[in-house]
Amino acid sequence: MPPFMYHAHPFAGLALMFFVWVVQLLIAYLIYRDAKEQKMLAPVWVILAILPVFGYFVDVLYLLIREVRLQRTDKPPVTLEQERTP
C-alpha cells in the first residue's frame, strides 16, 4: 500500500457513511412533509429518496417536478394548517 493511505483513521469511512445516511434521511423527511402538503404520493417519494446514490437524483427530480406543478397552478401551495381552517 502506498504510504499516503495510512494517515486515515480506520473509522473515518464509517463515520462519513453514517453522516451521509443521516443527511439522506433528513432530506427524505423534508420531502415527505412537502409532498404531503402538495398532495403528492409522499410515501413513494420517501422510498425513492432513501435509496442509496439514486436518492440524490430523486431529490433533484422532486424539486423539478414540484416547481413545474407550482408554475402550472399559478397559485401558492396550500399548507396543512390552511387546509384545516374553514
**Cell 440524490 -> residue:** 56
pTM over 0.75: no
50: its cell numbers: 432513501
What DSSP state is assigned to residue 22?
H
- Any domain includes 17: yes
- Any domain includes 64: yes
Tell me the per-residue pLDDT of 8-58, one tens digit each, with 9 for 90 and over: 666 777 888 888 889 999 999 999 999 998 888 999 999 998 887 788 898
- Any domain includes 59: yes
Nearest to 54 by CA among 29, 30, 28: 28
pLDDT of amino acid 54: 84
Domain count, the chain: 1
- Any domain includes 1: no
- Any domain includes 45: yes
Say if residues 19 and 9 touch (Cβ distance below 8 Å).
Answer: no
**Residue 34: alpha-carbon gap to chain centroid:** 10
- Any domain includes 18: yes
Q: Classify 39 in phi/psi space as left (phi over 0), alpha (psi -120 to 50) or beta.
A: left
- In which domain, by residue range, is 76 found? 11-84
